[in-house]
Structure 1
Amino acid sequence: MKVKVLCRNPDDYVRETKKDLPKVPRNYDPSLHPFEVPREYTRALNATKLERTFAKPFIAALEGHRDGVNCMAKHPKSLSTVLSGACDGEVKIWNLTTRKCTRTVQAHEGFVRGMCVRFCGTSFLTVGDDKTVKQWKMESPGYGEKEEPINTVLGKTVFTGVDHHWRDAVFATCGQQVDIWDEQRTCPMRSYTWGVDSISSVRFNPIETHILGSCAADRSIVLYDLRKPTPLKKMILEMRTNALCWNPMEAFIFTAANENYKLYTYDMRNMDAPVIVHMDHVSAVLDVDYSPTGKEFVTASFDKSIRIFPFSSGHSREVYHTARMQHVTCVCWSSDNKYILCGSDEMNIRIWKANASEKLSLLSPREKAAKNYNQKLKEKFQHHPQVRRIARHRHLPKSIYNQISEQRIMREARRKKDANRRKHSKAGAVPIVPEKKQHVVAVLE
């Protein structure tokens, strides 16, 4: 004889919070919820409005420099440490937790042109207008000790940039040429030249660490391999490139900040045309830095604003500015992917949130669930006209707004002129050149 026993789990019908209240059962059959999409659309609209309402990205300003901030460097091991160099030769080390300067070094006479932290974080390098490369301890000197560099190298010309290898005791400087130095030697191990113009910036690849790139005043971008005695490739653009940054997740991808208000993302294996052209700035782009995830990058511009671009998009998702902020000369993204720091002409370093409406305090489980649910709703309805309009709207300074309108008129006039020339010319006499190929003059190997 078979006996069937009914077994009921109390968790299926009793609430966790109050045991005396029964659970409300819910049937997820779509036919029983005919108004689910309209309800979710309303929630997505409200979530988008609240996101813009609570978008307050500015956190704090680090004040203390007596001249414009010219360069910045982040610590590879410490999230709370950042270094800044000013136009008066002064270097400051900041503690972001307390938002105070922990150490000040009079490093150079004249501008601090570049700085970087050693891969292990024990020391940092600076270059300046006084034709010297100096290596300093990260720790403050003891009581009674003088503030002196560990090593000083005197060069023949002015150094305009410096970057350290990600794994070895090797660093690169740029000026009239790109020099590769060993920390234990006072003369360069190798020097690279291609042309006669000065080089403004040099960056090591964080993944393929023997690869580095540089930007020169002759409008060129040059790539080098430490294993080879000569440069790899040279690409010449229509206008000068001010800085470049490698994607930390994709070894072959780098983004270049150009004088023509645009940024170009290139694949170093095929440099005939950029992968993506990023446009939104209305003045020269001076610096660029990738997020640790490699999905976004932040740019600093002469138009007194910074913008955040998705790696795969031609337009920015965010623009940050303040009434007092002047020309932004340098920018960096923190290693925890939460903050952005920028230095500008009016002697301030500003700290911003990477996500303007993000809550920085600890979230309860209920808040996390609500945040994730709202995020999915916004992604689901992101292409709806009303949701897209609210999500994209940004208040801009009057000067930037007017320049955007003026540039739109100029682009439209140029497009009409090309169309008229094409219409009244022989077939093929005025070819259609895509935006990606308009600014590359030549690629040399």
Structure 2
Amino acid sequence: MRVKTISRSTSTYVPQGTTSAPVPRNLNPALHPFEKAREYTRALNATKLDRLFAQPFLGQLGNGHVDGVYTFAVDPKVLNRVASGSGDGVVKLWEMTDRSEVYSVKAHDGIVKDMCYSDDGKLLTCASDQKIKLWDHPSKMEGKSTKDQVKPLMTYLGANSFNSITHHRHDQVFATASSSIGIWDISRSKPTSTLNWGSDSINVVRFNQTESSILASAGADRSLVFYDLRMSTPVTKLITTMSTNAISWNPVEPFNLAIGNEDHNAYIFDMRKLERALNVLKDHVAAVMDVCYSPTGQELVTGSYDRTLRIYSVREHGHSRDIYHTKRMQRIFSVAFTPDTRYVLSGSDDGNIRLWRAKASERSHVRSTRERVKLEYDEALKKRYQHMPEIRRIARHRHLPKTIKKMSETKKIQLGSIKRKDENRRKNGEKLSARMPERQKMVVKNVQ
């Protein structure tokens, strides 16, 4: 039996040496009839490998907390340190490199509601015990006994329990949220001014880190209020259909912010045009408890009461690009990006702090030039062929917990029923208001 084989000489397409001129390559499409077919196959294989190596969960930090984890503080100037506060009043500092506990201190007698870092690296904590405490730089507290030597530099007393705290980007000023917004000088024991616009309780307050005199707050009366410290007065007020649980300013686009709402969605707003949202981020099936922008401003992580964590690409569409969950993880109350954007932290009421990869299939090792070029080529191919049915199906497929899957299906049926009922009422001649775009449905009123 005679078998004919295809034999190619390497001398026709490989240079003879390093000093030789490169072998010319003809880019005429007529000479490469199967180019698109080959690229599609490579894009399909790259998508499959991306899902095959998707292992987002890295582990937990130390032994976690005894009570639930309700707040994080990430110092933007330090990559490997994060502080966490729990429901039993304990504040812990963690070393991200080896996931170990640096120190732990019983900071408050109530729930630690919020924490933030000052410009010089000191930590501010507030709690339901009506106290704010200022703690020294972490490097000066390592190795100290929590009972004898770890003491706050200063304690501030308030008239009501504090719900939130945020520090000014440059000045020694911080703001707190309780029954009103208090503006504090870090060297004084009483607030220098008080801001309020019609809310009995304010849930969250956040300084804009770029336009540093702008302040945003969310109240229990479903209001989202913006203040300007240069005028010491409110600027504008937005009333939404349901209350807001969290606020995060975009670090790159100064006027844009994201809010986590009780209606299961996160919204992105431009504070100059509050009549409609820039984007509606869907997919959660319970209230969004916390939101956090990545340092690049391109991605947003949300933590929800439905025990899942979702990551959104802000500019693309309103659905999450990834969802993270574990069997033991309970309701998520706090999320944060690390300053290098590679990792995500989540704190839940089971007391654990979990560390996740921001990109599930990415590995943080030193890459050779050849590997880096191959990964960039694969990413370009996946982007080019992302709308092909098979590639889109594989890229979007996720395994969900049974409860989340059932709740998603039920929610889809309910929303479809509401739309169908509205259309039937219009068809049968009932006079209804004009159809409201999806990005305007949650806006009740904008007050200047």
Please indicate, yes or no, whether the TM-score normalized by the shorter chain is above 0.5.
yes
Q: Which residue of 2 aligns with 1:6?
A: none
SS at structure 2 position matched to 1:387: helix
Distance 1:397 1:177 in 2: 40
Whether the aligned pair in 2 keeps the contact of 1:132 and 1:153 (CA below 8 Å) is yes
Structure 2 vs 1, CA of residues 143 and 37 (structure 1 numbering), >3 Å: closer, same or farther? closer
Matched, 1:326 2:337: no
Matched, 1:180 2:179: no
Identify the range of structure 1 (308-317 vs 373-382) with the bigger mean alpha-carbon deviation: 308-317
* Cα-to-partner distance string for 1:197-237 (whole Å, 9 max, x where unaligned): 21111111011000010111111111111111221111111
Whether the aligned pair in 2 keeps the contact of 1:422 and 1:430 (CA below 8 Å) is no
Q: Which residue of 2 aligns with 1:279?
A: 282
CA RMSD of superposed structures (Å): 1.6
C-alpha displacement at 1:196, in angstroms?
3.6
Matched, 1:91 2:95: no
Amino acid in the other structure paired with 2:141: S
Matched, 1:14 2:24: no
Matched, 1:162 2:156: no
Whether the aligned pair in 1 keeps the contact of 2:163 and 2:177 (CA below 8 Å) is yes
Whether the aligned pair in 2 keeps the contact of 1:177 and 1:192 (CA below 8 Å) is yes
Structure 2 vs 1, CA of residues 143 and 407 (structure 1 numbering), >3 Å: closer, same or farther? closer
C-alpha displacement at 1:323, in angstroms?
0.6
SS at structure 2 position matched to 1:104: strand
Q: How does 1:201-280 map to 2 (within 5 A)?
A: 201-280=204-283
Distance 2:278 2:253 in 1: 13
SS at structure 1 position matched to 2:439: helix
C-alpha displacement at 1:413, in angstroms?
0.8
Distance 1:106 1:331 in 2: 22
Q: Which residue of 2 aligns with 1:26?
A: 25
Whether the aligned pair in 1 keeps the contact of 2:64 and 2:353 (CA below 8 Å) is no
Amino acid in the other structure paired with 2:235: L
SS at structure 2 position matched to 1:51: helix
Matched, 1:439 2:438: no
Whether the aligned pair in 2 keeps the contact of 1:141 and 1:147 (CA below 8 Å) is no
C-alpha displacement at 1:51, in angstroms?
0.2
Whether the aligned pair in 1 keeps the contact of 2:245 and 2:290 (CA below 8 Å) is yes
Q: Which residue of 2 aligns with 1:77?
A: 77
Q: Which residue of 2 aligns with 1:351?
A: 355
TM-score normalised to structure 1 length:
0.94
C-alpha displacement at 1:141, in angstroms?
6.7
Identify the range of structure 1 (360-369 vs 86-95) with the bigger mean alpha-carbon deviation: 360-369
Distance 1:142 1:405 in 2: 52
* Cα-to-partner distance string for 1:88-135 (whole Å, 9 max, x where unaligned): 0000000000110001111000100110011221x1000011101100
Q: Which residue of 2 aligns with 1:5?
A: none
Amino acid in the other structure paired with 1:96: M
Q: Which residue of 1 aligns with 2:59?
A: 60
SS at structure 1 position matched to 2:36: helix
C-alpha displacement at 1:343, in angstroms?
0.4
Distance 1:131 1:15 in 2: 76
Distance 2:378 2:144 in 1: 55
Q: Which residue of 1 aligns with 2:7?
A: none
Distance 2:432 2:184 in 1: 51
Q: Which residue of 2 aligns with 1:140?
A: 141
SS at structure 1 position matched to 2:415: helix
Amino acid in the other structure paired with 1:159: F
Identify the range of structure 1 (83-92 vs 29-38) with the bigger mean alpha-carbon deviation: 29-38
Whether the aligned pair in 1 keeps the contact of 2:92 and 2:104 (CA below 8 Å) is yes
Q: Which residue of 1 aligns with 2:128?
A: 129
Which segments of 5 or more consecutive residues in structure 2 lack a partner in the other structure? 1-13
Structure 1 runs (4+) deviating above 4 angstroms are 21-25, 141-145
C-alpha displacement at 1:77, in angstroms?
1.5
Distance 2:32 2:123 in 1: 62
C-alpha displacement at 1:23, in angstroms?
6.1
Q: Which residue of 2 aligns with 1:407?
A: 411
Distance 2:305 2:142 in 1: 37
Q: Which residue of 1 aligns with 2:388?
A: 384
Distance 2:113 2:45 in 1: 47
Q: Which residue of 2 aligns with 1:360?
A: 364
Distance 2:313 2:93 in 1: 30
* Cα-to-partner distance string for 1:324-381 (whole Å, 9 max, x where unaligned): 0000000000110100001001110000001100021111111101100100000110
SS at structure 1 position matched to 2:191: coil
Amino acid in the other structure paired with 2:108: H
Give the share of equivalent positions with the same residue, in percent.
Answer: 46
* Cα-to-partner distance string for 1:257-315 (whole Å, 9 max, x where unaligned): 00000111111001111111111100000000000110111000000000001112211
Distance 1:383 1:168 in 2: 48
Q: Which residue of 1 aligns with 2:5?
A: none
Structure 2 vs 1, CA of residues 13 and 142 (structure 1 numbering), >3 Å: closer, same or farther? closer
SS at structure 1 position matched to 2:115: strand
* Cα-to-partner distance string for 1:6-62 (whole Å, 9 max, x where unaligned): xxxxxx94344xx8x996543222111010000100000000000000000111111
Which segments of 5 or more consecutive residues in structure 1 lack a partner in the other structure? 1-11
C-alpha displacement at 1:400, in angstroms?
0.6
Whether the aligned pair in 2 keeps the contact of 1:215 and 1:242 (CA below 8 Å) is yes
TM-score normalised to structure 2 length:
0.93
Q: How does 1:283-302 map to 2 (within 5 A)?
A: 283-302=286-305
C-alpha displacement at 1:431, in angstroms?
2.3
Q: How does 1:99-114 map to 2 (within 5 A)?
A: 99-114=99-114
Distance 2:15 2:369 in 1: 22
Distance 1:13 1:305 in 2: 54
Q: Which residue of 1 aligns with 2:41?
A: 42
Q: Which residue of 2 aligns with 1:118?
A: 118
C-alpha displacement at 1:410, in angstroms?
0.7
Whether the aligned pair in 1 keeps the contact of 2:199 and 2:220 (CA below 8 Å) is no
